[in-house]
Structure 1
Amino acid sequence: MTESAIYSPATYRLYSLQAAVAQAYATIRRHLAPIISPSFIGFGHAPCPGDTEVSIQWLTKILVAAGSIPSHAKITGAEFKGLDGNRGMAGVMTRILVTYTLDVRPNADPTQDSQELHLILKKSKDGRASRLGNIISGQAREATFYSSDLAKGLPKSFLPKVYYAHGSSLLGEYVILMEDIKQRRGHTEAGAPTLHPIDVNFVFGNQVWGLPPSVDPDTLPPPVQMLEQMFLTAASLHAQHWNDSSLLKLNWLKSAGWYRGANRTGWEWGVQAGSEAWARGKAKAASGDYDVKYSEKVVKVMDESFKRASWENLQRRLQDRSIPFVLSHGDFHASNTILDRSKSSASSDLVIFDWSEVCIWEPTTDLGQTVISDVSIPLFQAHARPALRKYWEKLVELGVVKPTEYTFETCWRHFLRGGVEKWLWVFGVLSSYPGMPAKGVQYFHDQILAFIELAEQEEDITYDITTVILFAPTTSP
């Protein structure tokens, strides 16, 4: 049974009431927690959306329990720092520099034995509007994921170390405390500079913004090698839950409801938000004040896809059992992965973060997304197919697919279609996203166009709007 139709006034009012009650509760909690926690619990309280500091008592308890500091350590400071280069579109992210000493004698000089620990605090914004958006979009799912058996079952190298994760779909909030991966101690090889963890998008040249002066290109692996490593990492991730029907029972996973024919309202709101954003984007470019040139081919694909988008078409796609589904990161691109070189350059791992869109979806969509997002056109034109073959061969090696049932050519066709479909809705939103520079929109337009033209060499493909990010309606129903 599906839910109500698009822009249901009753559904929107219910979500709005839920957000208002949640905000009222959070306001009361903010005033009472500092009083109740130290007095009755004794170790402070966990940070909440809207808090401007972190309880030292609570932080000590969490870090000692995780084995990150000794039980006799004394935290002497927790300094909030900015997060340069944060490209996220929601929530608040802050670096925390924790200083602690192992000498707890009364007259000890804390500066003589001071040690550091670098953390990232990610939490939702406070306020009724933010909670409404989080309730509708399900943004608490990342915290739920980090605490789930799904995360515990993945190789440890795939994820950052998470010290605390709280997510509430009821309150529309989340708080995550994790390690700052980039501050892992770098590995030093004989006669070579120290190799620190680095953003994978830098390996691909950071296409829109370029490399910062602090990055030495000579220390980076070849982009082709990096592309293959991303695809092989994705194969190991996807193999964990290939066509695993138990995923469909996890309501907090984005798209689990869609596969069961539920959550129609949220999907249709998302499509509507994308369609309206694309209309604004075209008007913005046509005004002459925004230096973006759209090709007729991309405009036609976008227009026809949004026009054809419907819940019924989505259901036909999702019920097609010839298309596999997996646990998907949902936002798999180079800016959400870090190359951890703290062991050695020969055994560098990829650490994947920002699991806010973790979902059930067809696997090759993850791969197409990262190619369009970050890989230069000449590179993916020449190397996307060989890299995908390595991905497919890894799946065969792991025993999750039979080459006679899921052929490489099938995998390749799904990759060509899924990569574009993943980007259609996103591009519609980015085309008029506040603060998005014209050169960024032009870059993604050109990437999508080249990918479409790559697909055209194989066969005529019809693209549909499928996966979306859930939004509240732009206007009250």
Structure 2
Amino acid sequence: ASISVPSCPKPGDTEVQLGWLNDVLHLQNVINEDTKVTEVRVTDLEGNRGFSGGISKLWLTYSSEDAVAPASLILKMTNLRVDSFREAMFYVYYAEAFAQYIPEVLYAFADEATSTSVFLMRDFKENTVGIDCNFLLGNQVWGIPDNAFDTVTPPAPLEVVREMFLTAAEWNAKYWNDQSLMDHFWMKNVPWYKGEYRERWEHSLEFAKTGWNKCKSKIASGECSVKLDKKFVEMMDLSFQKTSWEGLQAHLQSPDVPFTICHGDFHASNMYWCKDAPHLKFFDW
């Protein structure tokens, strides 16, 4: 999916250059050579509540009718100063292998140095009957929209959960103990397997430990009314006491500890249930 095209939009931009978009659509054979995008209308993605990346919907106007031309596309760009370039890197390296699980990716760009990422995807909901998986499991935070089930009969929640984990198991099994994963230093945990980023890891551990100690202090002073079970507190304290970089390295290097590729944010709001099989699409890798 990665192609070299100038003038791709970057985080903070308010417009999408027609030249870039036409180049992408022509190179990926999305539209025929005689058809060109003449206007792009950028809107917020209705219902989007993501925090790690800015998602927009591109409404397209063409110079001529094209039976296969999409009416809209999805553009996602990481917000400035957010370390989430990995999702675009995932699409660069794994979009083809994971094609059945993800929306079709037309363009992907990532720069680790600036934490910038840009990727353009088909709006698969345009031609797919289905529903967001969080609606099928309750959507406890915002509630279920009144018209959520107008186009699809909801499957049983247990069926949905079963399909989620069986699907994840497919790609987990495919890359189980696959040493080629270690070639991708951009993957979140690969540096730790290679003994790198110790300072960053230890800083994160100290940050968590400080937060835990503040929590206990507020409870002890009565500032916070939460009550924690004594055994839970002892377990947390012991966990922090025994956690170390040396212990982590011994664990990761053990031949008895497997590794594989995993979704980076595996929950129902990042999944879509399609009426027709295969039923699941996954977002926000």
TM-score in same-fold range (> 0.5): yes
What is the DSSP-based 3-state SS (H/G/I as helix, E as strand, rest coil) of the residue aligned with 1:77?
strand
- 1:300-351: CA deviations, max 9, x gaps? 544443443321221222122222211112322212211123xx3xx24211
- In structure 2, the partner of 1:185 is 127
What is the DSSP-based 3-state SS (H/G/I as helix, E as strand, rest coil) of the residue aligned with 2:161?
helix
The farther-off stretch of 221-230 and 293-302 is 293-302
- In structure 2, the partner of 1:215 is 148
Q: Residues of 2 paired with 1:92 and 1:284: CA distance?
A: 36
- In structure 2, the partner of 1:54 is 16
Matched residue type, 1:171: T
Q: Residues of 2 paired with 1:116 and 1:243: CA distance?
A: 39
Q: Residues of 2 paired with 1:285 and 1:87: CA distance?
A: 32
Match of 1:162 among 80, 105, 129: 105
Matched residue type, 1:168: D
Q: Residues of 1 paired with 2:123 and 2:204: CA distance?
A: 32
Q: Residues of 2 paired with 1:52 and 1:273: CA distance?
A: 36
Larger Rg: 1
1:325 maps onto 2:259 in alignment: yes
Q: Residues of 2 paired with 1:44 and 1:248: CA distance?
A: 30
Given that 2:55 and 2:77 are in contact with CA atoms closer than 8 Å, whether structure 1 keeps it comes out as yes
- In structure 2, the partner of 1:261 is 195
Given that 2:100 and 2:278 are in contact with CA atoms closer than 8 Å, whether structure 1 keeps it comes out as no
1:353 maps onto 2:283 in alignment: yes
Given that 1:44 and 1:56 are in contact with CA atoms closer than 8 Å, whether structure 2 keeps it comes out as no
- In structure 1, the partner of 2:97 is 153
1:204 maps onto 2:133 in alignment: no
Listed as ranges, the matches of 1:19-168 within 5 Å are: 45-103=7-65, 117-126=71-80, 130=81, 134=83, 139-148=84-93, 150-154=94-98, 156-168=99-111
What is the DSSP-based 3-state SS (H/G/I as helix, E as strand, rest coil) of the residue aligned with 1:163?
strand
Paired residues, number = 278
Q: Residues of 2 paired with 1:287 and 1:348: CA distance?
A: 54
Deviation of 1:64 after TM superposition, in Å, equals 2.2
Structure 1: runs of 5+ lacking an equivalent? 1-42, 105-112, 187-195, 356-477
* Root mean square deviation, CA, Å: 3.0
Q: 1:256 to 1:96 in 2, by over 3 A?
A: same
Structure 2: runs of 5+ lacking an equivalent? none
Deviation of 1:79 after TM superposition, in Å, equals 1.6
Q: Residues of 2 paired with 1:94 and 1:167: CA distance?
A: 18
Given that 2:54 and 2:77 are in contact with CA atoms closer than 8 Å, whether structure 1 keeps it comes out as yes
Q: Residues of 2 paired with 1:311 and 1:73: CA distance?
A: 57
Given that 1:339 and 1:351 are in contact with CA atoms closer than 8 Å, whether structure 2 keeps it comes out as yes
- 1:40-60: CA deviations, max 9, x gaps? xxx861111221110011111
Q: 1:289 to 1:77 in 2, by over 3 A?
A: farther
What is the DSSP-based 3-state SS (H/G/I as helix, E as strand, rest coil) of the residue aligned with 1:198?
strand
What is the DSSP-based 3-state SS (H/G/I as helix, E as strand, rest coil) of the residue aligned with 2:139?
coil
Listed as ranges, the matches of 1:223-234 within 5 Å are: 223-234=157-168
Q: Residues of 2 paired with 1:122 and 1:331: CA distance?
A: 16
Q: Residues of 2 paired with 1:262 and 1:68: CA distance?
A: 42
Identity of aligned residues (%): 38
Higher normalized strand content (fraction of residues): 2
Q: Residues of 1 paired with 2:222 and 2:38: CA distance?
A: 56
Q: 1:288 to 1:353 in 2, by over 3 A?
A: farther
Matched residue type, 2:60: V
Q: Residues of 2 paired with 1:289 and 1:84: CA distance?
A: 40
Matched residue type, 1:211: I
- In structure 1, the partner of 2:186 is 252
Given that 2:42 and 2:57 are in contact with CA atoms closer than 8 Å, whether structure 1 keeps it comes out as yes
Matched residue type, 1:204: L
Q: Please give the TM-score of this superposition, normalised by the length of structure 2.
A: 0.84
- 1:175-218: CA deviations, max 9, x gaps? 1111234x2324xxxxxxxxx23221221112333322221298
What is the DSSP-based 3-state SS (H/G/I as helix, E as strand, rest coil) of the residue aligned with 1:227?
helix
